Structure 1
Amino acid sequence: MAGSGSPISKGDLVQSFERGLAVIRAFDGRGPELTLTEVAELAGVTRAAARRFLLTLAEIGYVHTDGKRFRLRPRVLELGNAYLSSQGLAEVATPHMEQLVAEVDDSAALCVLEEDDILYVALVRTAARRIMALNVTIGSRIPAHPSSMGRVLLAHQPDDWRAAYLARAELQPFTPRTVEDPAKLGAILDRTLADGYSIVDQELDLGLRSIAVPLHEPDGTVSASLNVSMHSSRRSVDEMRDQLLEPLTRTASAIEADLAAITRRRRSFSISGDDD
């Protein structure tokens, strides 16, 4: 075994990597938030080792901590599906999204906000209908500002965060229709917050229209956004609002209800476990 100041062997690197992955996988079973002791027990490592791995993961943006409890951040999707397993978001949402797509005959997607981008965590497409030139898959990231899901998520951020975002963001034009003025985008976000949904007409991709609504946590915070997208020849903007907003909102509510039920079961399990 390599000692202090000694070259690190290949075997040591592989073993360390394996323990790091075990720390990430620890979030699969007990819920989205764990203490240091829980992580160490579930990963089969010492508390000292678990602390080093967790602080490293926090430093590079894969873990969030309040100093006592730890949870995975969406960025960990870049490494695999551990985030989805810990949150249950894609697993819960996908069956509802499949029903939505069958009902409206257009594609649906689910995203979370990661820094200034949206991160795709679930996708259900209509058969053999390609609507975007962009090759979007689960785990893809795109800037939030020209997308309906991104605008929903941006609109629900705290006021100070939104102001900082509008001051720093480079509003890249994806099409001639893309809003590039921060003040105009700010007004759009205010309207999105008031309306409870966002419609984007060919700002991300020419020919692409989409409508998105928020997904709420039990405490009312918005954790994700759900949309339906289609080619502009399928529906006008008014038709999208009239025909899709109700089923989209209904689907979001069903996903929220399932996620809330899972949270209640996890809390009940945790309380029962504490009594043992």
Structure 2
Amino acid sequence: MKRVVVKVGSAVLTQGDSVALDRMQALVDFLVELKKSNEVILVSSGAVAAGYTKLQLDRGVLKNKQALASIGQPVLMHKYAQKFDDHNIIISQVLVTAANLNKAEDIQRIRNTVDTLLSNGVIPIVNENDATATEELVVGDNDQLSAYITKHTDSDILIILSDIDAYYDEDPHKNKDAKVLKVVNSIDECALQREATPHGTFATGGIVTKLKAANYLLASDIDMFLASGFDLSDVKSYMINGHHSGGTLFTNGDV
């Protein structure tokens, strides 16, 4: 049985100023299917967006964003709990900070907690503790957080579900002839140094943060799979049916 981390971004989980419940339902259904033959950890964005549905504060102000995350985290978890309850699956909340990921003893505690949850059939839902994070000590985006969690929980693969459906040889927004790179073994340093260009009001990443996550995992010989979170057919094909039809696999191994 493999241990799989699935990260879903704000662009997937939000629609305008609301939580995209249909896409959340599709995600939950996929995770339930994935859990039949894997241990599953979810890294979920969307807390700030969920908070904004309750209180419309200016998200450009740090203290407001942290307050929205504080409001939205239980809202988001409640929505997840309702959907997983239909499948008789228990979920848990695991909030971490950059400080936790910089201390060996904290990393071990996180691993112990996750191990215990998974051994009891629970799906841990991980997020950064945005309400208390500081500008000086923050993971910064959930792509990087999910990569850290994947490594520190001894997981076998990270799946990133995003509004970006794959890694292309050129920017597909600028070149309609851009081609999907289905398998990537190394990432050019220039690509890692580009400015992050997030899409959507609540997003903090873009392709650059995903490449950085993949590069971090490749250095530890851990695979990453990038696919669309709007249409889950590619990730289902790869993870459930064993067929790589779309999306990008970042790997050091032979394919």
TM-score, normalised to structure 1's length? 0.28
Kindly name which structure, 1 or 2, has the bigger radius of gyration based on alpha carbons.
1
Return the structure number with greater helix share: 1
- What TM-score does the superposition give when structure 2 sets the normalisation length? 0.30
